[in-house]
Amino acid sequence: MSGSLVVEPRPLVLDDSAANATAVTPTVRESVRRSRFWIIAAAGTVLVTLVVVLLVGGPATGRWLAADSAAPSGAMALVAVLGEQGVTVVTVDTLAEARSATSEAAAPTLFVFDGDGFLDASRLTALGSLAPRTVIAAPDFAALQALSPEVGFGGLSMATDLTPQCSVPAAARAGSLSPGGGTLSIPEGTPESTPASGATLTGCFPSSDTTFSVIERAEADHTLTLVPDAAVFSNETIADFGNAAFALNLLGPSDTVVWYLPTLADVPRTGPPSIGDLTPGSVTPTLILLGLVAAAAALWRGRRFGPLVAENLPVTVKASETLEGRARLYARGNTRLRALDALRIGTVQRLAGRVGLGRSARLDDVVHSVAALTGLAAADVRGVLVQEHPTGDADLMRLANRLQEMERMTQAAVSAHSTTPHSAPHAPAPHDLPPHGRMDS
């Protein structure tokens, strides 16, 4: 074959629907419009969080009744006034520190608030012998059993006016307390009683015949005052009614007040807790209930369509449907190179068969054989088959058309070579081709 083979280019058309399809790359505006719901939801969440933080005023500073806390639940106001009156307030966090501070002071008063229940029975019992006067705010059941087992809980106070009605000096000088809050009860139901233990129990600020807002337990060498409502000492209510007078007269007679708020350091170390210890008791029944619900839902959803229907397999799918579906997936994902690679793989396999190399031939052999038959440069053939990358839809169509054109040129060259006399019945190997890369008749 001599001369150049001229083939008129023809565009590659997969089918009618593919010819009319247009691949569109999503713009920034379209992407924002698709994600509009999530953007609005995220902005709303941030806005609600900021509003809640501004309304609440941020996290509260300090612990409940902390001596250095200016928060509404702190006790800085009371501690500051005690300091102005010449009372030294020593803050401690553990029982060991409380024992050391009370032993170094002369006739101190020990103030205790264990809101988190860190103290066990043995440590609560030890509190009774640390100082001549002990004040416990909001005692729990364990504290009552360890220090004053004769006293019980009386519920919330329903009285609108709390007056002392007792002989305790601090209560008498206060005149009144804030209404509401918890109360304690004395078994005999009288303001003053002497139980079998020999201690004298005095109830102040009664809400009924059996409940009191303050109870004093006096023995020979120790006085224990129980105040069930810890808010009496807080910054928020210290100025209400006679709360300030009661607190100052209760803690002020001593030159030293040991302010003891127990912490985790008071909890005895018994080794790391197990998973069962850390797991709430409601977890196990909740998991069992969730398992039963999941099983019931599986049975319900599994049976709602009835029994399975037998279907002859395999199912035949039209090639045009598969082609169109894959083309739409490539267009939606903008994977032009992957789509072009699918066309290139089929083209290389068909070219290898047409030049007589077989489907397992190397790419270099296919490139050289096609170049020798068509008269194209090997670099151009390699670029179309492997190297060139599409930058847009136009490039993709151009390369697809060039692949089709290359197949047509190769088929035409093979057909012409097979009709030429003295030609070999098969395509020549690359090393048998003349140096100029063309075949002569």
Q: Provide the pLDDT confidence category of residue 210 given band limits of 50, 70 and 90.
A: confident
pLDDT given at position 220: 81
Q: What distances in angstroms separate CA 300 from CA 303, 306, 309, one per listed residue?
A: 6, 10, 18
* Mean of per-residue pLDDT scores for the chain: 81
Rg of the chain taking only CA atoms, in angstroms: 46
The string of pLDDT tens digits covering residues 307-332 is: 666 777 777 778 888 878 888 888 88
CB under 8 Å to 81, separation ≥6 — which residues? Answer: 244, 248
211: left (phi over 0), alpha (psi -120 to 50) or beta: beta
What average pLDDT score do residues 36-44 get? 83
pLDDT given at position 342: 86
Which residue did the predictor score with more confidence, 206 or 7? 206
Model confidence at 432: pLDDT above 60 = no
Q: Provide the pLDDT confidence category of residue 90 given band limits of 50, 70 and 90.
A: very high
Model confidence at 76: pLDDT above 90 = yes
User: d(Cα 25, Cα 349) in Å, to the nearest integer?
Assistant: 31
Q: Provide the pLDDT confidence category of residue 32 given band limits of 50, 70 and 90.
A: confident
Model confidence at 16: pLDDT above 50 = no
User: d(Cα 414, Cα 73) in Å, to the nearest integer?
Assistant: 96
The string of pLDDT tens digits covering residues 211-247 is: 899 999 998 888 999 999 999 999 999 998 989 999 9
- Among 69-83, 144-158, 225-239, 264-278, the minimum mean pLDDT is found in 264-278
pLDDT given at position 191: 54
Model confidence at 423: pLDDT above 90 = no
Backbone angles phi, psi at 217, to 5 degrees: -115, 110
pLDDT given at position 215: 93
